[in-house]
Structure 1
Amino acid sequence: MRRLLMTVLAATAAVLAVAAPANAATPARWQPAVGLSWQMQFSGKLDTSVNAQVYDIDGADSTKAQVAALHQAGRKVVCYVDAGSFENWRADAAKYPAAVRGKALDGWAGERWLDVRNWAALGPILAARFADCKAKGFDAVDPDNMDGYSNDTGFPLTAADQLTFNRRVADLAHGLGLAVGLKNDLDQVTALQPAFDFAVNESCRQYNECGQLSPFVAVGKAVFHVEYKAAQCPTPASLRFGNIRKNLSLDAFRTAC
């Protein structure tokens, strides 16, 4: 009887293994394709009527219902999260230890660069933010200020420090089944492209840097590009970017170019 019971249990386990493969609970994350149109809005009342395939909106200020409405309209939705700097108006601002808050971002009141070497402090905060994005139904995250090492942060950050931090951020997103975009950090594109699913860039035309993003397009990954000056809006068609012009306030205004 004992041998018969063991035989039955073994057979049942084999059936379950076939019926429920190990990766069944891990959904495939979104892979933004080259050439998608997009909209980015972080201020003002959200305008859901823009003819764009992808929306990039503030994760904390948006609601699950807004994300669902955009999905119902056939859009993919990206969750904007500040990863490399501190914003004093956010609900979780008190969770950032004083030791990780560096110099102010030039031109951005209430923001300070972060010591991205301190993952023990920053990792749990970002994990909670990304989990909120997931809970609201977002398809991807747009982590901002991923290039602190090339700015005057108040910390002796190196290129290696930045690579480590950026890859950790990408891993956090992927662990939740979310796609993740590399925001700016053009000097490290070649090294970071494999870890990211798309790129988000500000003003590469203005600074003659757009060619540095070609490693993304070369492997079929989207580049979502925004300029803030009308004369700088278009980029060569050969780059195959999604190009828009926005106001610096990132309100609903948008012009495709």
Structure 2
Amino acid sequence: MTLPPAGARFEYQIGGADAPAADTQVVIRDSTAAPTGRYDICYVNGFQTQPGETARLLRESPELVLHRNGKPVQDAGWPDEVLYDITTPALRTRVAERIGAVIASCAAAGFDAVEIDNLDSYTRSGGLITPEHTLAYTGLLVDRAHSLGLAFAQKNTAELVREVRALGADLVVAEECQEWKECHVYTRVYPVVLDIEYQRAAFDAACAVQRSTARDPRLSVILRDYGVSPRGARGAVHGTC
């Protein structure tokens, strides 16, 4: 298991794969895409369903989906995604087996690490999922990734940074840590932090610091559009400092 270089140039391509820039060292792509041969991180939605699998899961294994008053708990921001139920050891094991199969496919494809998204789903569960449930489940995924030789990237959720790091997580993929004034929370704990900003002002502010004597060598910063679109797509934004 290896980590990407601290401060490396990276690209966030989960909205569609395209050829990385020549000086890009790290690429993050969806688990359905092929790795690039650089340092490749595999995006996995670990705490919620992918839109295309929601209906099938509800039909075939509804017990793996969190329910409130008989209805699946949805992510309000992504209503075609529902939350996995990780509230008991038995359920955590079953969901981890499901997500573990995706992690295994990342390893088989040749990725170097996994980024497990929606660690903060417990904040959208109406109190049904606790931080303790979340950490117990995360530990299963960290162990699975490591058993396959993959590094494990924490995704966002600065409020649990020390706890997730203690489980063995290796690096961070953070969205808008400059915007939310959280970058230092991650860099105090992790050796590599890959930050994606979506607001130009926050990106410019982060880059100004990274070009100064106050630069944090553990931090890499890029600017993307909210759709994380491939180059050439309408509205695509790809900025690096």
> Fold match, TM over 0.5?
yes
Q: Specify the structure having the higher radius of gyration (Cα).
A: 1
Q: Residue 189 of structure 2 aligns with which residue?
A: 216
Residue of structure 2 aligned with 1:94, choices 57, 68, 81: 57
For the Cα contact (< 8 Å) 2:17–2:29, is it kept in 1? no
Residue of structure 2 aligned with 1:239, choices 216, 222, 230: 216
Q: Residue 147 of structure 2 aligns with which residue?
A: 175
Q: Distance in 2 between matches of 1:159 and 1:45?
A: 33
SS state of the match for residue 147, structure 1? Answer: helix
Q: Residue 200 of structure 2 aligns with which residue?
A: 230
Are 1:256 and 2:240 matched, yes or no?
yes
Equivalent positions of 1:2-81 (< 5 A) are 29-49=1-21, 51-60=23-32, 62-63=33-34, 67=35, 70-71=36-37, 75-81=38-44
Q: Residue 80 of structure 2 aligns with which residue?
A: 110
For the Cα contact (< 8 Å) 1:216–1:222, is it kept in 2? no
Q: Distance in 1 between matches of 2:22 and 2:141?
A: 30
The one-letter amino acid of 1:98's match is P
Are 1:84 and 2:84 matched, yes or no?
no
**Between 205-214 and 88-97, the greater mean CA deviation after superposition:** 88-97
For the Cα contact (< 8 Å) 2:54–2:82, is it kept in 1? no
Runs of 4+ in 1 over 6 A off after TM superposition: none
Q: Distance in 1 between matches of 2:128 and 2:17?
A: 39
Deviations 1:173-205 (A, max 9, x none): 001011110001211111222411110100112
Gaps of 5+ in 2: 67-72, 231-236
Q: Residue 173 of structure 2 aligns with which residue?
A: 200
**Between 37-46 and 80-89, the greater mean CA deviation after superposition:** 37-46
How high is the TM-score relative to the length of structure 1?
0.77
Q: Distance in 1 between matches of 2:145 and 2:184?
A: 26
Deviations 1:135-166 (A, max 9, x none): 111111111001222x1224522221111111
The one-letter amino acid of 1:246's match is R
SS state of the match for residue 52, structure 1? Answer: coil
Gaps of 5+ in 1: 1-28
For the Cα contact (< 8 Å) 2:4–2:26, is it kept in 1? no
Percent identity of equivalent pairs:
25
CA RMSD, Structure 1 to Structure 2 (Å): 2.2
Change (3 A) 1:230 1:30: same
SS state of the match for residue 85, structure 1? Answer: coil
How high is the TM-score relative to the length of structure 2?
0.82
